[in-house]
Amino acid sequence: MSPINIRTLQAKKDQQEKFSVLTAYDATFAQLAADAGVDAILVGDSLGMVLQGQDSTLPVTVAEMAYHTACVARGNRRAARPALIMTDLPFMSYGTLEQALDSARQVMQAGAHMVKLEGDDWLIPIIESLGRQGVPVCAHLGLTPQSVNKFGGYRVQGREQERAEAMVRHAIALADAGADLLLLECVPSALAERITASVRVPVIGIGAGSATDAQVLVMHDMLGLNPNHVPKFVKNFMTDGRGVKEAFAAYVQEVEAGTFPGPEHGFNA
Ligand SMILES: Nc1nc(=O)c2c([nH]1)NC[C@@H]1CN(c3ccc(C(=O)N[C@@H](CCC(=O)O)C(=O)O)cc3)CN21
Ligand SMILES: CC(C)C(=O)C(=O)O
Ligand SMILES: [Mg+2]
């Protein structure tokens, strides 16, 4: 089967087919995820928390993201149907155009197919510039963990009417600027539904309800391996005597069928 790319994902949205995304940080889990039918693998800066034991994603460097991207790319290419690899640019590695281009170069040369950036309308010139250099971008809105110190914690975003309207405007502006995907984290389900209907590009959700075009979870969370605070949007798929492979397959099946997430995994306005 041919590898997944951004056009494959766009076609899924156009045909109203849901798709699944999972984080992975190494070759073994990347191959298992791709073989289970996950369409995109996110090499997330959450690796700072789940692999490194940091209290936030802020300490993660571009070199670390490139290292894990290279590991994931090696496993992914052994899969029967390789997934799209998307890598987070970490904290303070894309504040200027020059920095963004250099950071993106490092992770793309390590094997990423696209990059993910946290931010709103300030990302527009960066997305345009990366696009001109051939780098597809996912823009991450809502709870953007790299801004945890500004938010004062990991809180649901867009609950106030004014903030919700601003998020809709930003989503449309980012898609218009050439963002190939959007990701919404911890936003009220009704707001995520409205944004998903307002943009042509696929929208991936985490803690954003069931109306988005796709879902993502941190792999450790969906395997029930998070020993710390487990966010409300997480479901453990490694139940009923399942192994890792079966848990990944169950996640893919439930996302594609629209049975995960349920209402209990979402947030109200
Ligand atoms: N293991 C792991 N899973 C993740 O999903 C994740 C990471 N790490 N690290 C980076 C960010 C941080 N994330 C988080 C962390 C905590 C909450 C959380 O506790 N949220 C509250 C909602 C609070 C409110 O109602 O405003 C919750 O109860 O889920 C959400 C996202 C998501 N990302
Ligand atoms: C939680 C997801 C969306 C992420 O950005 C990460 O894993 O770093
Ligand atoms: Mg991240």
Q: What is the pLDDT of residues 17-52, one digit of tens each?
A: 999 999 999 999 999 999 999 999 999 999 999 999
Give the whole-angstrom CA distance, residue 229 versus residue 256.
27
Give the whole-angstrom CA distance, residue 169 versus residue 178.
15
Query: For residue 2, what pLDDT band results from cuts at 50, 70 and 90?
Result: confident
Task: For 68-126, write each residue's pLDDT tens digit.
Answer: 999 999 999 999 999 999 999 999 999 999 999 999 999 999 999 999 999 999 999 99
1 pLDDT higher than 80: no
Please give the pLDDT value at position 46: 98
Give the angle 105-39-179 at the CA atoms, nearest 5°: 50
Asked if residue 60 has its Cβ within 6 Å of ligand 1, the reply is no
What CA–CA distances, in Å, run from 193 to 92, 160, 204? Answer: 30, 16, 11
Minimum CA distance residue for ligand 2 atom 7 = 44
Q: Is the ipTM of this complex over 0.90?
A: yes
Q: What is the mean pLDDT of residues 201-226?
A: 98
What CA–CA distances, in Å, run from 224 to 10, 52, 227? Answer: 31, 18, 8
Please give the pLDDT value at position 20: 98
Question: What's the mean pLDDT when you consider all of the chain?
Answer: 98
Q: What is the mean pLDDT of residues 249-265?
A: 98
Count of beta carbons in the 10 Å neighbourhood of residue 163: 14
- Polymer length of the chain: 269
Give the whole-angstrom CA distance, residue 206 versus residue 203.
10
88 is in an annotated binding site: yes
- Structure letter (DSSP) for residue 204: E
231 prior amide bond cis, ω within 30: no
Asked if residue 204 has its Cβ within 6 Å of ligand 1, the reply is no
Minimum CA distance residue for ligand 2 atom 5 = 44
118 is in an annotated binding site: yes
Exposure of 233 by Cβ count < 10 A (0-12 exposed, 13-18 middle, 19+ buried)? buried
For the chain, the distance separating the N- and C-terminal CA atoms, rounded to the nearest angstrom, is 41
